[in-house]
């Protein structure tokens, strides 16, 4: 990425290379309720987390709020911690502490943090240089969901998340903020999975779609799987 990711919360407008995702799009991509996405953006990112800075994590696009690629990545991690019993206030406290440690506004998108993050279902911990740092309590337990999520990410030279395969790297659908504002695409092509899905729903066979779009049957099926899951 060419954009300074650590400063992008102060811009309050979309830029090439950071991605644009509304709450509805995040809900579809990550398979979570839209209401939760709205709440976390309003109450936590633009509320409690933005209190430490001089700007929001979101910007207005039409009648909706939108956020960048790194906020989408962080949303997944923070929601999963919350779903596993860690109270949102402790997730936010961990975010703030990690932000101080790494001098980055998006610590839950950093490779080092994703490699070292742990929880016991109540508290969040971070293993750094062989030391367990308690971000809000004591004890620790490895996070299997972080290891699985880690495999679906690609990191840039600064070791911050740069690309994301929402259904895993065996599936062709990718989010790359350097292409089409980070909207889901079929990898190595600028074709939206929704385009394939609409043709399929209209009655076009898989083999026909593969032929006219110069895609493999697997890529067509991957696009259909992504849209049907959403």
pLDDT band at residue 192 using 50, 70 and 90 as cut-offs: very high
Write the DSSP string, the chain.
--S-GGGGGGT-S--TTT--EEHHHHHHHHT--HHHHHHIIIIIIIIIIGGGSSS-SEEEETTEEEE-HHHHHHHHHHHHHHHTT--HHHHHHHHHHHHHHHT-S-GGGBHHHHHHEEE-SS-EEEEETTEEEESSSS---B-HHHHHHHTTEEE-TTSBEEEE-TT-TTSSEEB-TTSGGG--EETTS---HHHHHHHHHTT--HHHHHHHTT--HHHHHHHHHHHHH-
Q: What residues are paired with 119 via a beta bridge?
A: 124
The more confident residue out of 148 and 13 is 148
pLDDT band at residue 7 using 50, 70 and 90 as cut-offs: very low
Return mean pLDDT, the chain.
82
**pLDDT digit string (tens) for 131-164?**
555 665 444 444 566 777 888 999 998 899 999 9
Q: Distance between CA atoms of 184 and 164, rounded to whole angstroms? A: 9
Reported pTM: 0.79
Find the Cα–Cα–Cα–Cα dihedral 124, 127, 132, 136, rounded to 10°: -20
Mean pLDDT of 45-55: 75
pLDDT band at residue 3 using 50, 70 and 90 as cut-offs: very low
The more confident residue out of 169 and 138 is 169
**pLDDT digit string (tens) for 58-112?**
887 777 888 999 999 999 988 888 877 788 888 888 888 888 888 888 999 999 8
Q: Distance between CA atoms of 106 and 163, rounded to whole angstroms? A: 15
State the residue for tokens 């939108």: 66
**pLDDT digit string (tens) for 174-190?**
999 999 999 999 999 99
């Amino acid at each position: 990425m060419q954009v300074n990711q650590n400063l992008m919360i102060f811009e309050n407008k979309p830029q090439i290379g950071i991605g644009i995702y509304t709450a509805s799009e995040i809900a579809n991509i990550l398979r979570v309720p839209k209401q939760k996405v709205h709440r976390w953006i309003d109450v936590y990112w633009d509320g409690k987390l933005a209190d430490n800075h001089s700007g929001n994590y979101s910007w207005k696009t039409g009648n909706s709020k939108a956020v960048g690629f790194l906020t989408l990545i962080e949303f997944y991690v923070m929601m999963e911690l919350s779903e596993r019993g860690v109270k949102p206030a402790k997730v936010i406290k961990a975010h703030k502490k990690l932000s101080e440690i790494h001098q980055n506004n998006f610590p839950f998108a950093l490779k080092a943090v994703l490699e070292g993050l742990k929880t016991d279902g109540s508290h969040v911990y971070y293993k750094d240089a062989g030391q367990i740092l308690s971000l809000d309590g004591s004890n620790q337990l490895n996070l299997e969901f972080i290891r699985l999520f880690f495999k679906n990410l690609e990191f840039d030279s600064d070791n911050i998340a740069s690309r994301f395969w929402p259904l895993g790297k065996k599936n062709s659908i990718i989010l790359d903020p350097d292409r089409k504002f980070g909207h889901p695409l079929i990898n190595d092509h600028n074709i939206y999975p929704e385009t394939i899905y609409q043709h399929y729903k209209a009655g076009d066979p898989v083999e026909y779609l593969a032929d006219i779009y110069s895609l493999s049957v697997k890529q067509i099926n991957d696009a259909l799987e992504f849209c049907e899951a959403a």
